Structure 1
Amino acid sequence: MKSNAAARPARASDATLGMWLGVLGVAIFALTLPVTRLATGTQEAPQLAPWFVTLGRAALAGALSVGYLLLTRSALPKRHHWRPLALAVLGNVLGYPLLLAYALRVVDAGHAAVVTALLPLATAAIAAWLLHQRASAGFWWCAVAGSALVVVFALLRSQGSGGMFGFEWADLLLVAAVVAASLGYVCGAKVTPELGAERVICWVCVLALPVTLPGTLWLWPQSPVAPSAWGAFVYLGVFSMWMGFFAWYRGLAMGGALRVSQTQLLQPFVSIIAALPLLGEPIEGLTVAFAAAVVATVVLGKKLSQPVTTAPALASRSPKETP
């Protein structure tokens, strides 16, 4: 009995820490939208090409990953790890950044933030499917309510600026980016308990190097590029593609991918706020009120969610998880 009582606080503490790590990852990823637009520019004033940004940021993260894996003397992943890692490459290294970069050539960061707000529901749905995770009906109602708040906010914001919220090809690219990112997140979380959060993103980036490094050198820009675009490119490689995942994958594994994914509901608001100093995009007064309401759904959803039922691979942690 004593050992069971001692174990409960540890699990509760891990779940809370997992939520906070998820918030940290979301804060880092939220800057990806305005920073990507800063790196690629617009159709009228292009800077770095979307393909170069996609491959280059992954190559930069891959170089950092090689150093980390050598420094920590990390063993090679086992055979059953390679498939989830390869899917994470397709989703997080190639699919999401490439689709996002092309879309942000057309729409502003605030618009992209609205559509990518679908990430929490998409991640939760894929987590429930691939990781066999379950939650209470109250959790799902909170997830739907939070996403509905984001959609209402989007509609009010677009009407307030004199526009109409409608899907065009850039929006379809953003929806596809959401699906790609969600798949990558969940596949990375699936192997995190065995490999450790840091090693997951490192192996993902290293696995992509045979494509990303030659592609970066081949597509290296020949025309002058603004220093701000290069600075944005470095941020995308070091933080969005690498360090952000250190926090995100560990948070998904510790707190449960289904529950921690709901912290992504905060991402559009952080992106919109960050777009003001970075891009000069205006902030509407509704942002603070809707952000507070969304935070409430995330907190309530966490309280209502039942203990997560996971696959055996996620039920226990390997000693390798602790760096």
Structure 2
Amino acid sequence: MRAQDSAIALNSIAVSDSRRTGSGTLAAVLGVVAFSLTFPATAWGLEGFGPWSLVAVRSVLAAVVAGGCLLALRIPPPDRAHWPGLAVVAGGVVIGFPLLTTLALETSTTAHAAVVVGLLPLTTALLSALRTGHRPSRTFWAAAVAGAAAVLAFTVLRSGGALTTADLLLFGALLVCAAGYTEGGRLARVMPGWQVIGWALVLCLPLGVPAAALALAHEPVRLTAHSVTGLVWVAAGSQFLGLVLWYRGMAAIGVPRASQLQLAQPLLTLVWSVLLLGERLTPAAPLTAVAVLVCIAVTQRARG
């Protein structure tokens, strides 16, 4: 009977782990979908707001939503030991990435900006390995590099491959965002993912309010359906909801594996760019999509 009880317990644990992995993967996928709309929404927002205004206002709006949720649920502040990590998340995904990519999109197309997203999974996995000491398998790294190379080749080919000042901003955004994802994924293992991004947003509120007031006073504002919709999405969708789902997914399936799901993000961004911005999609897109999905499947199965 003891052996039978042990077998039942092990089977129960396996089922529980499988469900957790499945829900974590779904959360990460939904996060990627939310992120894929960020660049088109930013382009819409720039139709009516200056870059500094757009970034500052989105941060304030997202912080108000997050702070309201934290207050309504009476969530106590995190332990003092977690605040340095939250500062990294705030600097990377709340301030750094939105600001650098928004400035880049003033002169770059969404297709060209997708280069940074194509390289983000590999950079996140690398920083995660260095931060946690985890070493994924060679198969994992081979598939990750192949997927990143496919996305990079596709996006660079589509945008002409010219390196500009916008590229420097995008590569800077790549580094700070990867750092924020890595630290956020680590924190999401000890506290709910929505609280990670929630407290990171609240942490930026004292800086965001005066920054928004200053930017709005110096940059022209033209409220249109596109600009308002873009602002609302980057604030509530990308900055809060997307990151809540993303950190939950990373906590469940691990940062390296979750980061590889983002290989599909540039292609989704290109699809939204066609549908929402009227950009033309090249015939190479379906082939690249198949290659990326194969790489994602390999990384999800690779055992680190």
The TM-score with structure 1 as length reference comes to 0.88
AA in 1 matched with 2:227: A
Is 1:275 the counterpart of 2:269? The answer is no
**CA deviation string 1:90-134 (max 9, x = no partner):** 001110000000000001101111232100001101111112222
- Match in the other structure for 1:319: none
Report the Cα offset of residue 193 of structure 1: 2.1
CA contact (8 A) 2:115 2:156 kept: no
Asked if 2 retains the 8 angstrom alpha-carbon contact of 1:32 and 1:240, the reply is yes
Partners of 2:45 and 2:233 in 1: how far apart? 10
State the match for 2:15 in structure 1. Answer: 9
- 1:243 correspondence with 2:244: no
* Partner Cα separation in structure 1 for residue 173 and residue 241 of structure 2: 20
Q: What's the offset of the Cα at 1:155?
A: 4.2
Which secondary structure state, in structure 2, belongs to the residue aligned with residue 98 of structure 1?
Answer: helix
* CA distance in structure 2 between the partners assigned to 1:155 and 1:280 by the alignment: 19
1:72 aligns with 2:68: no
Q: In 1, are the aligned partners of 2:49 and 2:222 still within 8 Å (CA)? A: no
Q: Distance in 1 between the 2:296 and 2:303 partners?
A: 10
Equivalent positions of 1:276-315 (< 5 A) are 276-306=274-304
**Alignment partners' CA distance in 1, 2:144 and 2:12:** 31
Deviations 1:189-218 (A, max 9, x none): 111122201111110111110001222123
Alpha-carbon distance between aligned partners in 1 of 2:194 and 2:228, rounded to the nearest angstrom: 25
Instruction: Report Cα offsets for 1:269-307 as digits up to 9, x if no partner.
Output: 00011011221111112112211210111011111223x
Aligned residues of 2:52 and 2:99 also touching (Cα < 8 A): yes
Q: In 2, are the aligned partners of 1:116 and 1:175 still within 8 Å (CA)?
A: no
SS at match of 2:256: helix
Report the residue type matching 1:235 in the other structure: W
State the distance in 2 between where 1:241 and 1:79 align. 24
Distance 1:155 1:69, change over 3 A: closer
How many Å separate the matches in 1 of 2:144 and 2:55? 30
Once residues 234 and 16 of structure 2 are traced to their aligned partners in structure 1, the CA distance between those partners, rounded to angstroms, is 34
Corresponding position: 1:201 with 2:207: no
> How far 1:223 sits from its partner (Å)?
4.2
Name the SS for the 2:108 alignment partner. Answer: coil
Give the corresponding residue for 2:43: 37
Specify the SS of the correspondent of 2:190.
helix
How many residues get paired? 296
Q: CA deviation at 1:65?
A: 1.0
5+ residue gaps, structure 2, are 1-5
TM-score by length of 2: 0.93
Quick check: 1:21–1:251 contact (8 Å CA) kept in 2?
Answer: yes
Identity over aligned pairs, percent: 33
* Structure 1 residue 148 displacement after superposition: 1.3
Aligned residue for 2:146? 145
Deviation at 1:222, TM superposition (A): 4.5
3-state secondary structure, aligned to 1:195:
coil
Q: Retained in 1: the 8 A contact 2:94–2:239?
A: yes
Task: Give the match for residue 224 of structure 1.
Answer: 222
Q: Which residue of 2 aligns with 1:22?
A: 28
